[in-house]
Structure 1
Amino acid sequence: MGITVQNITGNTAMVIWPKMASCTDSFYSVMYHPNWNSMLSSYSRNSFQNEERVPASRSSFVVENLTPLTTYLVCVTCQSANPSGDQCRVFNTLERDPASTSSTKKELALGIWLTSSILLFIIAAILLYSCLHLLCRRRRERLQGRNGTSKQDHGKAWTNSMAYAFEEFGRQSQPMEDTEEKHPSGIQLATIIKNPSTCKEPNMLTSKSQEQVPAAGQSSAIN
């Protein structure tokens, strides 16, 4: 059949085959297996570890995920028929690709970087939350302290104002007592105002005495 294997690396290989007239309306089966020495000489399809179906319009296929430094047997048949000796080829994979090794290292480094970044972000978030909680707590304590001092100041101001009011009241009451002592007649005036009947009686007495006085004068004149 003339199968060839090209572009062999540590993980991939390109298998090329000539087109078959019997597979124009069907597909090709690309079968490959490592350590072909352990396989039976009959090349049974069931003995192959991997099998890929390729459209009939194609005549090549890239086999992937191979093991480096390994001997492989690859066979190409029409549809799912058992392969014959002229439809198979043996090839050996190379060492691990430097590009794949570097890509693996890059992927590993990227994974480590992502993991460390996530851990650092979590630690930073925890520290930020702790700092904010501590600041809020201190601010609350300061506000409570200020409220307590303001209440104390308010109480002191109220007591001072009450003391000042009592002192002013005492100062105003002292002149009134002095005037009462200097003018004792004020008490009599107060009693007179409270008892107006006492004021009327002397007036009535004086009027009666005035009436009696002219009468006495008249009687003396007549005599």
Structure 2
Amino acid sequence: MGITIQNITGNTAMVIWPKMASCADSFYSVMYHPNWNSMLSSYSRKNFQKEERVPGSQSSFVIENLTPLTTYILCVTCQSANPSSDQCRTFHTLEQDPASASNAKKELALGIWLTSSVLLLIIAGILLHGCLHLLCRKGQEQPEGRNRTSEDDNGKTWTKSMTQTSEELSRQSQLIQDTERKNSGGIQLATMTENPLTCTEPIMRTSKSQELVPMTEQHSAMN
């Protein structure tokens, strides 16, 4: 079976094979494996790392995602049959060219950027959800706080009014007591003014009694 491998690069290779009548209505199996060791490996399907199924209408296939500077063995059979030695070829991939390397770097950078963008969007969504939840909670707590504040203000106002009322009552009672004291003092002064003898009579009697005592003593001495 005349299998040829063309257009070998660091990552790709094209394999061409002649058509077989038995696979016209079936498929071809393109099997390949890196670092093949013919002394230890047999030509069995299970020993191949990769297998691609190609429609029977085709007679060529481009293998991709190869490793640069690597020796491969490639076999083409009909309907996944175990290959023979004449159905296999070996080839060696080239060094990776700068263009493909730059493309690979671009693809890697693009993949990293897409992944980081998705992660950032997820994190932003989580943060936005948390902020909205906090805002809703604060909106529910504010009316309760206002009601409590109004109740506290009403209580403080009532306490202040009661304190002011008690202070006013104490002031009024003090004024009444002062007024009564002044009135009682005025009545006593008025009574003393109307009856001056009430204050002087005891004094006069005392003086008269003192005058009578010496005269009595003199009379007794004369006798």
Separation in 2, partners of 1:46, 1:132: 62
Separation in 1, partners of 2:28, 2:55: 6
1:111 to 115, 128, 134: 115
- The answer on whether the counterparts of 2:41 and 2:47 sit within 8 Å (CA) in structure 1 is no
Superposed displacement of residue 6, structure 1? 3.4
Runs of 4+ in 1 over 4 A off after TM superposition: 38-42, 147-154
1:198 corresponds to: none
1:69 corresponds to: 69
Task: Give the letter for the 1:66 counterpart.
Answer: L
1:139 corresponds to: 143
Task: Give the letter for the 1:128 counterpart.
Answer: L
- The answer on whether the counterparts of 1:39 and 1:47 sit within 8 Å (CA) in structure 2 is no
Task: Give the letter for the 1:100 counterpart.
Answer: A
Within-5 A mapping of 1:35-46: 35-37=35-37, 40=40, 43-46=43-46
The 1:92/1:105 distance shift into structure 2, 3 A limit, reads farther
CA deviation digits over 1:112-151, x for unaligned, max 9?
A: 1211221132123223322442343233212333356568
Superposed displacement of residue 31, structure 1? 1.2
Percentage of matched positions with identical amino acids: 55
1:17 corresponds to: 17
Within-5 A mapping of 1:123-162: 123-146=127-150, 149=153
Matched, 1:120 2:114: no
- The answer on whether the counterparts of 1:43 and 1:82 sit within 8 Å (CA) in structure 2 is yes
The 1:40/1:153 distance shift into structure 2, 3 A limit, reads closer
CA deviation digits over 1:161-217, x for unaligned, max 9?
A: xxxxxxxxxxxxxxxxxxxxxxxxxxxxxxxxxxxxxxxxxxxxxxxxxxxxxxxxx
Separation in 2, partners of 1:144, 1:87: 90
The 1:5/1:70 distance shift into structure 2, 3 A limit, reads same
Task: Give the letter for the 2:126 counterpart.
Answer: I
Task: State the TM-score, normalizing by the size of structure 1.
Answer: 0.55
Separation in 1, partners of 2:18, 2:101: 29
Residue ranges of structure 1 left out of the alignment (5+ in a row): 157-223
1:91 corresponds to: 91
- The answer on whether the counterparts of 2:36 and 2:72 sit within 8 Å (CA) in structure 1 is yes
Residue ranges of structure 2 left out of the alignment (5+ in a row): 162-223
